[in-house]
Amino acid sequence: MEDKHRASFIHKVLRMDSPTADDDSAGEGADSREKFVLAVDIGTTSLRSHVYTKQGNIKGASSKRIQLLHPKPGWVEMEPDVLVKQVIDSIKEAIRAAGITAHDIACMGITTQRNTFLTWDRVTGKPFHNFITWQDLRSRDIVKGWNNSFRMKFLNGGSSVLHMLTKQKRFLSASVLKFMSQQVTMRLIWVLENVEELKAKLAVHEVSLGCIETWLLYRLTREKLVATDYSCASGTGLFDPYQFEWSTIVCNLLNIPMEILPEIRDTSGDFGSTDPTIFGASIPITAVVSDQTGALFGECCFEVGDIKCTMGTGTFIDLNCGSTPHASVAGLYPIVGWKIGKEITYVAEGSITDTGSLIEWAKSMGFIDDVSDTAKIAESVQDSDGVYFVGAFSGLQAPINDDKAATTLIGLKPTTAKAHVVRAILENLAFRVKVLYETILSETRIPLSHIRANGGVCNNDFLMQLIADFTNQTIDRAKQRANMTSLGVAFLAGLAKEVWKNKAELREIRESETVFVAEKDVWSRYKDRFVHWEKAVIRSREWYN
């Protein structure tokens, strides 16, 4: 009965008209035709499917808006079966737009937003709840309770002593460890405490846990695989980057049963194949990667010191640290970039949660009519006329690390115009990038190359030039900046199937569109403004109790 129920449940989700499924002619001459790489990118607000040629060009594409649910204030969810259907529909549309069939796809890769997770019944395949996204705040009180608990203080203090005695980096990281609601850990504790059906199934060892990539693999392979990759696993808060495995310390500390965790596989490798009835042919899945490290790979940041800045809904600066994880005391995340065979690449990452969201807010407030006009509006005035803005809708991240900070607009006068406010908002973004960049520079002590930039907000020339001037670095904006994460996972998938032989071939595909060079003396004119902006940051801190 259980198998019958499971098959029926899965069929509801994957019941798709696949006109080529039984079409023998679709496969004729398939081996002699050009092969393509399929990339699926599930972001925070949209999901995209792209069919890439060997030259790295997009032959077919499809995009869908992700349906977010807000059942209670602060809760942000996604319906798991709706997401699967959207992904399948998107893939079909992209293949159709490319004028090919699934037989022509050499392989596919999946890249996703991190830390949006789900638990489900291992026997029936039925979820116990909706996806709980990384933006969800239901665990905020649990986070506060744990971070102020005796056990955490004991862990931090004990780790500090162990670091002094052993000099091991893992103890340095543990000495400043703080849980965050963006990680899986605290939201998972909420689920374990509040979902009764899950509690019963845990007792009989019938629970699986996974983020978006794991759920998609599970569905697309018809339950044959429950897996993730090292880059996705390393961002959950459940992974030990120094031991390179799920953390027994964290799981034991939080009473999380390790049996529910998925298998971890190489980023570029074997993740099974899609069931042939879904798309009309079985497509090998040969890469899974987190969104930000996928973008780092797409930017061809393969060497130690290579760095990229993605500016979309949020800002993420990622530095290639090579084969050694970085132990941070300022709030940088030591994550795995990718694992390809014996090659393990670690990344130091800093984030700014509010970026594109600030631009959209400015539009909703009437400061701008069109997002694309922000550069022109900012340049229409010489300066911000003493107006300073601190964007902190989601608090202030590294190196400030204040989740109680409030968004602040200060220095308004009767002479203040909309253009002054718009300029202050863009200057705030550039100041935040400068502070985060200098934190990475000082903490890692790795000589950094020029910054490679991608993401929708990077279309703003005024902002790109400001960042170049503030960091005294060259900013290399990619031609493929709108889809860099997608290109990165396509690269990783294609390498596994030898669509591309090596990284040298990938470097030939990544193209620069515009290079912004730091101009002399610009920063000297901004020093006083930066000091005043820092004062505004101080005013914004610890606002919410």
If DSSP codes are grouped into helix, strand and coil, which group holds residue 386? coil
Worst-scoring range by mean pLDDT, 162-171, 210-219, 235-244?
162-171
Q: Mark whether 412 and 541 lie in a shared domain.
A: yes
Bridge partners (DSSP) listed for residue 336: 346
Q: Which structural domain range is residue 373 located in?
A: 300-545
Q: Mark whether 306 and 204 lie in a shared domain.
A: no
Q: Mark whether 263 and 348 lie in a shared domain.
A: no
Q: Mark whether 441 and 486 lie in a shared domain.
A: yes
Tokens read off for 163: 């670091």
The confidence score (pLDDT) of residue 152 equals: 82
> Is 351:314 a contact under the CB 8 Å cutoff?
yes
If DSSP codes are grouped into helix, strand and coil, which group holds residue 84? helix
Q: Taking residues 521-545, what's their average pLDDT?
A: 95
Q: Mark whether 390 and 537 lie in a shared domain.
A: yes
Alpha helix ranges (H) inside 206-275: 212-220, 230-233, 248-254
The confidence score (pLDDT) of residue 113 equals: 95
Residue pLDDT, tens place only, 193-202 = 999 999 999 9
The confidence score (pLDDT) of residue 92 equals: 99
State the SS3 of 127-150.
ECCCEECCCCCCCHHHHHHHHCCH
Q: What is the largest CA-CA distance in the chain?
A: 75
83, 65, 336, 344 alpha-carbon torsion, rounded to 10°? 80
Which of 283, 315, 337 is at the close of a domain? 283
Q: Kindly state the helix (H) or strand (E) to which residue 3 belongs, with its residue range.
A: helix 2-14
Q: Tell me the whole-structure pTM to 2 decimals.
A: 0.91
The confidence score (pLDDT) of residue 31 equals: 54
Answer whether residue 121 is part of any domain: yes
The confidence score (pLDDT) of residue 12 equals: 46
Q: Mark whether 274 and 313 lie in a shared domain.
A: no
Q: Mark whether 228 and 335 lie in a shared domain.
A: no
Q: Mark whether 430 and 491 lie in a shared domain.
A: yes
What CATH number does the domain containing 336 carry?
3.30.420.40
Q: Mark whether 209 and 81 lie in a shared domain.
A: yes
Name the burial class of residue 402, with classes exposed (0-12), middle (13-18) and buried (19+) by CB atoms within 10 angstroms of its CB: middle
Q: Mark whether 119 and 256 lie in a shared domain.
A: yes
Bridge partners (DSSP) listed for residue 37: 52, 107
Answer whether residue 500 is part of any domain: yes
Q: Tokens 């509006």, residue?
A: 377
Residue pLDDT, tens place only, 424-437 = 999 999 999 999 99
Which of 283, 313, 345 is at the close of a domain? 283
Query: Which amino acid appears at position 210 of this protein?
Result: G
Q: Tokens 């640290």, residue?
A: 321
Q: How many CB atoms sit inside 10 A of residue 28's CB?
A: 11
Answer whether residue 173 is part of any domain: no
Q: How many CB atoms sit inside 10 A of residue 524's CB?
A: 9
In whole angstroms, what is the distance from residue 409 CA to residue 372 CA?
Answer: 22
Q: Mark whether 64 and 121 lie in a shared domain.
A: yes
Q: Mark whether 355 and 310 lie in a shared domain.
A: yes
